[in-house]
Amino acid sequence: MDAPLVLTTRLDPNEIDKEAHNIDCLREYPLELYRAAEAMKDTKEVEKLMDLVSGRIGTERQYEGFGFTHDTKDISEGPKQSSYTTLETMEDKMNAQLLLGKKIRAVDECDVATRVIDKHFLPDMAGNLRSFSAQTVRCTKCGEKYRRVPLSGRCICGNNLILTVHQASVKKYLEVSKDIGKTYGLSNYTLERIEVLEMSMASLFDNDKVRKCKLTDFM
């Protein structure tokens, strides 16, 4: 999804993500900014103190005169590899992020956990759950896709059909969300949202007629 679809030789700031317009161009921050931070004022009250890219759109200054507060001898200095790529599981990545939040006094790790679950994990799982319910099946040989499985259960070329959305992708954030919810004491509302989503998954994936038994059940 990160592959470039369009290449252009002319950059128009109006055509890029609006988040990039929130970059400030100051070479030093005014004292009023720190006083506003100490008073915990809303960012919109402080915005007028900063020289943001958004205020330069439509003028010649949208391309030049960008300041920065700290110089460097090499723009390539810094970590060669992100921790996001070195940590294997999503649980490891989430724990590392929350551990960093614990070390920073200005960060409320419980709020971080809530935001990640509410804004990322839950929407991702809910979206994948909908996609699983309305997915197509694909032929492993010719690549033909079907909205409904043919009566023969196979592709017209005679080959096997496979799912395009798998159960693992739907449940990939479920366990880490439950663990984080218990560990960091998230609100009952967030915990219940996770529980409702888990019930929806169980109703789709678990067959009531199939009972998972252990050897001790027969003793």
Q: Are residues 96 and 171 in the same domain?
A: yes
Q: Are residues 47 and 98 in the same domain?
A: no
Give pLDDT, residue 34: 93
In a domain, 5, yes or no: no
The pTM assigned to this predicted structure is 0.62
Q: Are residues 124 and 24 in the same domain?
A: no
Q: Are residues 94 and 199 in the same domain?
A: yes
Q: What are the phi and psi torsion angles at 40 (to 5°)?
A: 55, 45
In a domain, 218, yes or no: no
Q: Are residues 125 and 198 in the same domain?
A: yes
Q: Are residues 63 and 93 in the same domain?
A: no
Residue in the block written with tokens 């099946």 = 137
CB 155 within 8 A of CB 143: no
pLDDT digits 0-9 by tens, 75-119 = 888 888 888 888 888 788 888 888 888 899 888 888 989 998 999
Q: Are residues 95 and 39 in the same domain?
A: no
Domain ranges, residue 115: 89-204
Q: Are residues 59 and 119 in the same domain?
A: no
In a domain, 164, yes or no: yes
| Distance, CA of 111 to CA of 190 (rounded, Å) | 11
Which 8-state DSSP code applies to residue 137?
E
In a domain, 139, yes or no: yes
In a domain, 2, yes or no: no
Q: Are residues 147 and 184 in the same domain?
A: yes
Q: Are residues 101 and 197 in the same domain?
A: yes
Q: Are residues 48 and 154 in the same domain?
A: no
How does residue 218 score in pLDDT terms, banded at 50, 70 and 90? confident
Residue 200 in this model has a pLDDT that exceeds 60: yes
How does residue 166 score in pLDDT terms, banded at 50, 70 and 90? confident
In a domain, 79, yes or no: no
pLDDT digits 0-9 by tens, 11-69 = 888 888 888 899 999 999 999 999 999 998 988 888 888 999 999 998 889 888 999 99
CB 161 within 8 A of CB 154: yes
In a domain, 126, yes or no: yes
pLDDT digits 0-9 by tens, 140-153 = 888 888 888 888 88
Q: Are residues 53 and 125 in the same domain?
A: no
Q: Work out how many domains the chain is built from and give that number.
A: 2
Residue in the block written with tokens 């197509």 = 136
Backbone angle region of 114, left / alpha / beta, with phi > 0 → left and psi within -120 to 50 → alpha: alpha
